[in-house]
Structure 1
């Protein structure tokens, strides 16, 4: 894959059904990266993966696309994946990718970069960087504002959200039982905690989408909630964490089945 800084943003095409209402463009706020002004006004993001009919019919992995909405159903962002065809076919959910997130003016405001790591994913040894899945968050594109990395644990999936200085700021703790993520017919929650491990700051939920959506397709629904007054860069990092969790646990259609 080309270096993320060299990837050209392409037109994402249709951003949803005809007549989709977009969240109004807020005025610029000093100290807030352009495009993140939306996040100052919301405490929840709903993430809906677009159903790819070709993928459902052929089982050939296609590039993912997502509509990101606020709690009123207004679209805030549109996200589309940039990845290598061979990696999608051979590596599936473990592939590297660049996720471009654009606003309603089709301007890229957030970029997520996930590197390829062939020996990562085991929660027992994820404290070593070579064994830890991670994703970096850039806003504006080219400027890293945070990193989400998998951490070592015995039973529960664990992550750290690190700030621009690579200092851990928040923790994410997943459900204890892996079967809950693979076989559950209800919502699956990942708690966002303070560094004390006690204070709950927010939540990332994989929402049950119904039998057809879960079994026939890989199109997942997520919600992430956080305090309204949380720093917008940290909100963007939580959105990045949601994508990492989706690819690690829910992208594989066999898991959804």
Structure 2
């Protein structure tokens, strides 16, 4: 008795070539969206520490060791908020000899670092031999934040009596102007430089602090204090420009 072969299932009875030639299902192709329609992610502003600030306190320290060991005359600045929170540390960089011969007119770079040590701003100041009565060159500094991205400059206006400065943005447009007193010597009182918009409305002021007769006689060349107040709703770039202007005023009138 012959046994009948079991029937082959239809799926297995199909030719092998049918499985080979069967198209493989590919996942649907995802086309990249148009660049114009993609949401742009704004990078975090490196000057975010200035967002809600309306007043800054600046303490200057001369690096005495650098002077004694002929490494140059360099300043260090500590920038704090009104609540005494340290937000920036500023370090001066220059050639070792310029501080001994150029004093407050020396060319330099200022490196501004935040609490994490990251450099958030850099200030360039070239040499300019400035005199009130017979000006040779007017002061002009440039500010970059982050380093490599220019956000503005400070330019001196020649005036024979009261010092004036223009604060300009990255496009060269004037946003503020600063006007100082007739006498810039800090003696028994604070010295204020007033800050105005281009239409003449007051924005704030920067101040050289009077710390007493003993400080003026013995410690002024080593340490000093400044303050700057401005409207809270200014942009962080505008606040950074006013901070740079305060540092320029220190070098011009109070750095010996």
Normalised by the length of structure 2, the TM-score is 0.77
* Distance in 1 of aligned mates of 2:243 and 2:178: 12
Pick from 152, 157, 161 the counterpart of residue 155 of structure 1: 161
| Distance verdict in 2 for CA 1:51–1:123, change over 3 Å | closer
Corresponding residue number in structure 2 for 1:7: none
Q: 1:185 corresponds to which residue? A: 188
* 1:207 maps onto 2:209 in alignment: yes
CA contact (8 A) 2:185 2:191 kept: no
Q: Partners of 1:168 and 1:124 in 2: how far apart?
A: 25
Residue in 1 that maps onto 2:22: none
Matched residues in 1 for 2:80 and 2:69: separation? 29
- Selected match of 2:45 from 33, 38, 43: 33
Any residues of structure 2 matched to 1:7-156 within 5 Å, and which? 30=42, 33-34=45-46, 36-54=47-65, 62-117=73-128, 120-123=129-132, 131-156=137-162
Distance of 2:214 and 2:70 partners within structure 1: 15
* Map of 2:35 onto structure 1: none
TM superposition shift of 1:50: 2.0
Counterpart secondary structure, 1:99: strand
Structure 2, gaps ≥5 residues long: 1-40
- The 1:134–1:145 alpha-carbon spacing in structure 2 relative to 1, beyond 3 Å, is same
* Paired position in structure 2 for 1:21: none
Question: Structure 1: which 5+ runs fail to align?
Answer: 1-28, 253-257
Query: How far apart, CA to CA, are the structure 1 residues paired with 2:70 and 2:217?
Result: 12
Give distance in 2, aligned partners of 1:58 and 1:191: 39
User: Quick one: structure 1 residues 59 and 40, their matched pair in 2 at CA, closer, same or farther if it must change by over 3 Å?
Assistant: same
Deviates more, 1:217-226 or 1:52-61: 52-61
Number of residue-to-residue matches in the alignment: 214
Q: Structure 1 residues 213 and 52 mapped into 2: Cα distance closer, same or farther (>3 Å)?
A: farther
Query: Are the counterparts in 2 of residues 33 and 139 from structure 1 also a CA contact under 8 Å?
Result: no
CA distance in 2, matches of 1:102, 1:240: 13
Equivalents in 2 of 1:224, 1:153: separation in Å?
23
Larger radius of gyration: 2
Q: How does 1:245-256 map to 2 (within 5 A)?
A: 245-252=249-256
Counterpart for residue 5 of structure 1:
none
Aligned-partner SS, 2:189? coil
User: Pairwise CA RMSD of aligned residues?
Assistant: 2.4
Q: 1:230 aligns with which of 222, 234, 254?
A: 234
TM-score (norm 1): 0.77
What is the aligned partner in structure 1 of residue 198 from structure 2? 195
Name 1:255's counterpart in structure 2. Answer: none
Bigger helix fraction: 1
Maintained 8 Å contact 2:177/2:198: yes
Query: Shift of the alpha carbon at 1:172?
Result: 0.2
